[in-house]
Amino acid sequence: MAGIFEYIPIIAAALLGVGLVGVIVYERSRTRQSKEPESTA
């Protein structure tokens, strides 16, 4: 059971990285959607 606690920093860093990538991808897709109508209009 104590072995799990050794991996907590690694798991936290991985979750932080995944969350950061998710936010970046979300923001990119959101800005793309708002820019597309401007270029066609």
Q: Which letter does DSSP use for residue 41 in this model?
A: -
pLDDT score of 21:
97
- Band the pLDDT of 31: cuts 50, 70, 90: confident
Return mean pLDDT, the chain.
85
Rounded CA-CA distance 25/29 in Å is: 6
What is the rounded CA–CA span in Å between residue 14 and residue 20?
10
pLDDT for the residue numbered 4: 83
pLDDT class of 27 with cuts at 50, 70, 90: very high
Confidence band, pLDDT 50/70/90 cuts, at residue 38: low
